[in-house]
Amino acid sequence: MSIFNPIHHYISITAFYALSLTEYDMHTHAHASCEIMYVTKGNCHIYVNHEEHRLEERQFIFLDSEVPHRLWVPKGSPCSLLNLEFCCQKEKTTLDLLEPRRESESFDRFCRSKKAIWVSNDTGNLGYSLKDLISQLEQKIPYSKDVHMSRKYTAPDADYLIRLLFFRTMLELSYCLLENTRATGTVYLKKATSYIAAHLTEDIRIPELAAYAGINKSYLQSLFNRHLHCTITDYVNRKRLEQAAFLLTNSSLSVTDIAFYAGYNSRQHFGSTFEKYYGSSPRAYRQLHEKKMETSTGHGQYTIREDGTWDTEPLE
């Protein structure tokens, strides 16, 4: 059941793994468990609701229950992953989400967010928390599936230790998703907008822009929507039009040259887009706003005399 349903606040861990995959193609599926997939090395592709999320090292995705998803690790591009699945239920267990909700404001806010899909960077210690939890869970398993023999060592108070590690993982998760999202988001956004400003005359591709910023394209798009209230494409187009408007009023370049300089392959496309944004054609905008270079000193030039006064005489 959903982690955001306050009635189902007891947790059962249903699956986990720490694997290095050289190639993997999982079919699209959904399940009753919530899931965390964390990349420790390499990269992978996760498809959720027909949208692709490319996860790099120290990036992760959280999925609420019943969210259809698919994991793909292409051949020749290995990926190391940590994975944890847990089910939220009414039946009592030793893991009660009400405990961390009472103690952690960020985790409580996360539980009230009701956002089923989160993609983010590990800006804290989520990876280490998840690794320790998975390691302890593996030790607790009484029999090895491969060799069918009891494990030689099980930590004392294993259930209590797992409980602490699970709560730690939840706190690190909420910290990455909420507490640090705004601060780190503005850093990534600044890198992206700086790249756009430096490459306005070029073909700006969103995957390359996201790679430069150091995040996946879905997360970058969400930052533009949240902070700039527009899509990446709309932002690029607006900056190109602003650059074009500046050149129209501060240069003698032709409208055609300005169109190509602003990244438009067609003067007609540039003209129609410019008119939609500014309410007038490029030519009319130039006539209205251009800074005139015309001036006059009458019929001659001014020269300074030896006594410091100025005189005017015809220009020879």
pLDDT, one tens digit per residue, over 74-90 is 999 999 999 999 999 99
pLDDT, one tens digit per residue, over 215-268 is 888 889 989 998 899 999 999 999 999 999 989 988 888 999 999 888 888 889
pLDDT, one tens digit per residue, over 160-190 is 999 999 999 999 999 888 765 555 677 788 8
| Closest-CA residue to 126 (of 166, 162, 85, 172) | 172
The pLDDT of residue 90: 95
How many Å apart are CA 185 and CA 164, to the nearest integer? 29
Q: Sheet holding 69-73: strands in order across?
A: 24-25, 69-73, 44-48, 51-55
The pLDDT of residue 271: 92
Tell me if the pTM is above 0.75. no
Could you please report the per-residue DSSP string of 61-80?
A: EEE-TT--EEEEE-TT--EE
The segment with the largest mean pLDDT, out of 8-12, 251-255, 267-271, is: 8-12
Which pair of structure tokens corresponds to residue 212?
Answer: 């430069």
